[in-house]
Structure 1
Amino acid sequence: MAGKLTAAQGTGILLVTANVGSLFEDPENLQKTWLREFYQTIQTHKPHFFALHCQEVGGKNYEASMSHVDSFVKELLSSDVMKEYNRARVYLDENYKSQEHFTALGSFYFIHESLKNIQQFDFKAKKFKKVVGKETYSETLESTPSLEKEKFPQDYFPECKWSRKGFIRTRWALADCAFDLVNIHLFHDASNLIAWEKSPSVYSGTRQKALGYVLDRITDQRHERLPYFVFGDFNFRLDSKQVIESLCSTATLQTVRAADTNEVDKLIFRESDNDRKVVLQLEKKLFNYVNQDVFRENNGSPLLEYDKELSVYKDRLHELEISFPPSYPYSEDSSQGKQYMNTRCPAWCDRILLSASARDLVLKPENEEKSVVYDNIGPNVCMGDHKPVFLSFRITAGAGKCCQRGEKIFREAPL
C-alpha cells in the first residue's frame, strides 16, 4: 500500500488524534463508520509510519465497555487495510480501578513492512531498540519501559474528582531522525456559565498550567531533547466571553436565577426588536445558539480570532493553518454528520502541535506543499462527538540534521 521506500520519496508519516469516547457508547452504529473513514485516510495518504492517539478509550462507563475496547483493538490489528503494517505497538491505559493513575488514553503505532530502519526508545535503559512484531500493553503502563505516562496532579482540577486527564510519551527513531510523540488530554470546561464570566476563562488557566507541566516534563534534562509532536484533545475553547459578546452584540441579556440558591441558572440573550427572538440560551451544559451555520461556513474561520489558548505557548508550540471546522461537540446521532450538539460552543479541541524543530521537519523546503495536509476525518458523517484530526507529511533523507539542531541547546547545557 505505501509502496517501496526510496530516499527521494521520503518516509510518509501520519499522525491522528481522536477522542473516541462516543464509539464505546454506541459501538453498533458509530464504530463501523469511524473505522471506514479512518481506513480511507490510511489508503489516501499511504503512510510508512502512523500514530493514532486516542482519548476516553472505553467511554464514560469503562467497566461496561471493556469488551468493546478489545474488539476495536483486534479490528485495527487484523483489518485487511492494515495487513502491510507488519509491526505495531498498542498502549492502552485500562487500569480504571486506579484513581491515581487512570487516564483512559490509548496510543497506537503502526509500521509498514517497507520501512526497515525504525527503533523505539526504552526510557529505563536509555537507549533505542529495534521494533519487531506486534505487541499490546495495558493494565500497568507505569512500569512499561517504552513509554512515560502521567496523570495530572489532583489539585490541578479539584472540582472533578474522577478526572482522567494526563499524557503518554513515546520516542521513535527512523532513518537519521528521532522525535517524541505525546498523547495528551487536558481539562474540559465544566460549566458554560463559569466559562463566560471572564476573559480568558478560569478553565483556560487550568489547561495552560497542565500543558506547561507536560512541556516541562518532555524537555527536562532526564533525556536528550528532541523534536516533539503533541497531539490529543487539548479541550481548547474559544474565548467564551468574547465570542458570546460578538454573536449577541445587539441582544439584551436576561438572567434567570435558581429559586432556592439564587445562583445564576441560565442566561437568555434576546433580540432587542424582531419579536424579542432568543439568539442564545446559555446554561451549565447548554449552548443553544440560533444559527449553527456560523460554525460551519468557511470552516468557522472568522471564529479563529477567539481561539487564543495556544498563543500563550507561541514560543514553544506551533501549528499548521487550521482549515477545518471546530472539531467538537458534534451530534452523536449517526444520521447527523455535520450537526453540532447544543451543549458547548463549538471549538477546535483536537489539535496536532509541534515544537520548532518538529515544524522544521514537517516543512522542509524540499517537501512539496501538497505533501503536508492538516485536516479532519469524516467531515460529512458521524464520527462521535469529536471529529478526528490528522497531519500527513514526509520526512526526507537528511532530515536528522534538523533534529540535531533541536538538541543542540540541550547538549551544550551541563548534564
Structure 2
Amino acid sequence: MGDAERNMGPGMLLVSANVGSIFEDPDNMLPVWLTEFLSTINRVRPQFIAMHCQEIGGKNYETSMQHVDVFLERLLSSEEMHGYDRARIFLDEDFKTVESFTALGSFYFVHESIRNASIYDWQARKFRSLSGREVYKGNINSIPFKHKEKFPQDFFPNFRWSRKGFLRTRWSICDSIFDLVNIHLFHDASNLIAVETWPSAYSNYRHRALEHTLKRISEDKHEKVPHFIFGDFNFRLDTQSVVKSLCATAKEERIGNDGQIKRLVYKEEGSENGKVVLTLEKKVFDHFNQEVFINDFKWLHQFDKEPKRFADRLQELDITFPPSYPFSEDVREGRQYMKTRCPAWCDRILLSQSARDLIQRGDEYTPVYHVMGSNVCMGDHKPIYLYFRLVPDTDIFSALVPTLTVSPLRP
C-alpha cells in the first residue's frame, strides 16, 4: 500500500432529500429519482452513505405510505448497493401516533471495505458493532439506536399540528465519532406574510426550532462529538428584499377585500400596457423571468440570511448551485420552478466546526457540495449532497471510541 492510499480516509456521502413528491406520483417519479440517486452512488463510489429524507410517504401519507416499501425494496436490491453489506434504516411511518410522528427517514449504508463501523445505543450509552442490514419502520419510538423528537406544537402558533422534528444517530467510522442529525423545520405558509418583514414570523419559528435542536445536542447527558445536521431546514430568502430588488422600477398594486390583501401585483412603470413583473398571493410567486433564479442565482446569496443567525455554531461549504426548491413536479420539466414560492436553498448540509475538521482537504481530497439531478425532475425539492474524505486514523478518535471522553479536536 502506497503512502497516498494509506493516508486516504473513507469516502463519505451525505444526502438531504425531501421525498414527499415522489410518493404522490410513484409510477412516474420514483424510477427517475432512484435512477439519478443510484447514478450518483456509482459515480462517486462512497464507502459510507447517509441519506436523510423528509416527508416519507408523501404529503397524503395515509394513502401513499404503502409506496415506501416499493422504494425501499428497489433501493436495497439495486446493483449499485450490493457492496454495502451493512445498513441501518429508520422510517418513522406511524402517522396514527400523532404526538410523535415526524415522517423522517434516515438511511445509512456501510461498504464492505470498511472494517471498523459501529452505531451508538442511546439507552445503553455504548457503541454496537454493525452486521447485516436492519430496517426499523412503523413506530420506531422504542428503537435505542436513534434519538428522535418532534418539536412542541407551540413552536408553530396558529397551526393545528405539524410533522416537524429531528432524528439523530451517532456513528464510529474508522475510529472517528460523529452525530448525524436529520431535521425538518417549518415552512412558509403564506407569501403575503413572508414579504411583510424580515425576519418573517416563519423564520422566527424555524430559528426557535433549530435553537432547540442545538440545545438538545449540547446539553444532553451524552458526550459531545462533532455533528452534521442535514435535511429540509425550509430556510427562505429575505423575501421582502428579494421583491424590492426584482421590482425596483415597478409599481405595487394591492388587491383584496374587507381589509384583507389577497394579491400583490407589481407592474413596470412606463411600459406599454403595464407589464406585470411579479404577482404574489398566499401560494403564488409568479415572476416573469425564471432565469434570474436558475442561471443567474448568485445575486440571491445576499438574501440568504437565515443560516447566518447560526454562524457562530454551524458552518457550510460554499453553495455553487441554484436554489433547491420549489421545482416543478412535472417529470418533463427538470429545470423549471413552480410559481408557488420564491426559490430558496431549503435543503442544506450544515456542520459544527469540529465536524468540518473531519473533512480531509488537499488537491486530491476536495469536498463536493452540490445538487443532485440538475436536469431531471426529482420532485419539488432537489436532493443536496456533500461528498468528502474522512480524516483518517487520528489518535484522538481512537481514544474516544472506548471511553467517549471529550478531547480537543485537531484541525
Interval containing the TM-score (normalised by the shorter chain): over 0.9
Identity %: 53
Counterpart residue number, 1:381: 376
| 1:368 positional shift | 3.2
Alignment of 1:239-258 (within 5 A): 239-258=238-257
| Aligned mates of 1:403, 1:303 — CA distance in 2 | 43
| 1:371 positional shift | 3.3
Alignment of 1:124-203 (within 5 A): 124-203=123-202
| Aligned mates of 1:143, 1:292 — CA distance in 2 | 46
Distance verdict in 2 for CA 1:253–1:71, change over 3 Å? same
Contact 1:227 1:403 in 2 (8 A): no
Structure 1: give runs of 5+ residues left out of the alignment: none
Deviations 1:135-186 (A, max 9, x none): 1112222211000000000001132223110000000001221000000000
Question: Secondary structure of the equivalent of 1:138?
Answer: strand
Contact 2:148 2:167 in 1 (8 A): yes
Question: Secondary structure of the equivalent of 2:187?
Answer: coil
Contact 1:330 1:387 in 2 (8 A): yes
- The one-letter code matched in structure 2 to 1:164 is R
Counterpart residue number, 2:386: 391
Counterpart residue number, 1:57: 56
**Residue 292 (structure 2) pairs with residue 264 (structure 1):** no
| 1:409 positional shift | 10
Counterpart residue number, 2:37: 38
| Aligned mates of 1:13, 1:321 — CA distance in 2 | 18
Contact 2:252 2:266 in 1 (8 A): yes
Question: Secondary structure of the equivalent of 1:23?
Answer: helix
Contact 1:7 1:396 in 2 (8 A): no
Give the aligned CA root-mean-square deviation in angstroms. 1.9
- The one-letter code matched in structure 2 to 1:93 is D
Deviations 1:281-324 (A, max 9, x none): 000000001111000114x1110100000111001000000000
- The one-letter code matched in structure 1 to 2:303 is Y
Deviations 1:349-381 (A, max 9, x none): 00000000011111x44x436531000100001
Question: Secondary structure of the equivalent of 1:57?
Answer: coil
Question: Secondary structure of the equivalent of 1:142?
Answer: coil
**Residue 322 (structure 2) pairs with residue 325 (structure 1):** yes
| Aligned mates of 1:70, 1:37 — CA distance in 2 | 19
| Aligned mates of 1:84, 1:34 — CA distance in 2 | 21
Alignment of 1:181-330 (within 5 A): 181-258=180-257, 261-275=258-272, 276-298=274-296, 300-330=297-327
Contact 2:335 2:377 in 1 (8 A): yes
| Aligned mates of 2:183, 2:220 — CA distance in 1 | 21
| Aligned mates of 2:394, 2:265 — CA distance in 1 | 55
For normalisation by structure 2, the TM-score amounts to 0.94
Question: Secondary structure of the equivalent of 2:357?
Answer: helix
Contact 2:324 2:382 in 1 (8 A): yes
Alignment of 1:76-115 (within 5 A): 76-115=75-114
Question: Secondary structure of the equivalent of 2:315?
Answer: coil
| Aligned mates of 1:403, 1:51 — CA distance in 2 | 22
| Aligned mates of 1:400, 1:136 — CA distance in 2 | 33
Question: Secondary structure of the equivalent of 1:361?
Answer: coil
Contact 2:225 2:406 in 1 (8 A): no
Question: Secondary structure of the equivalent of 1:274?
Answer: coil
Equivalent residue pairs, number: 402
| Aligned mates of 1:73, 1:79 — CA distance in 2 | 10
- The one-letter code matched in structure 2 to 1:81 is E
Deviations 1:55-88 (A, max 9, x none): 0011111121122111101111111110010111
- The one-letter code matched in structure 1 to 2:228 is F
| Aligned mates of 1:83, 1:321 — CA distance in 2 | 33
Contact 1:270 1:279 in 2 (8 A): yes
Deviations 1:219-260 (A, max 9, x none): 2141110000000000000001011001101111000013xx
Structure 2: give runs of 5+ residues left out of the alignment: none
For normalisation by structure 1, the TM-score amounts to 0.93
| Aligned mates of 1:221, 1:148 — CA distance in 2 | 11
Distance verdict in 2 for CA 1:402–1:145, change over 3 Å? closer
| Aligned mates of 1:403, 1:268 — CA distance in 2 | 61
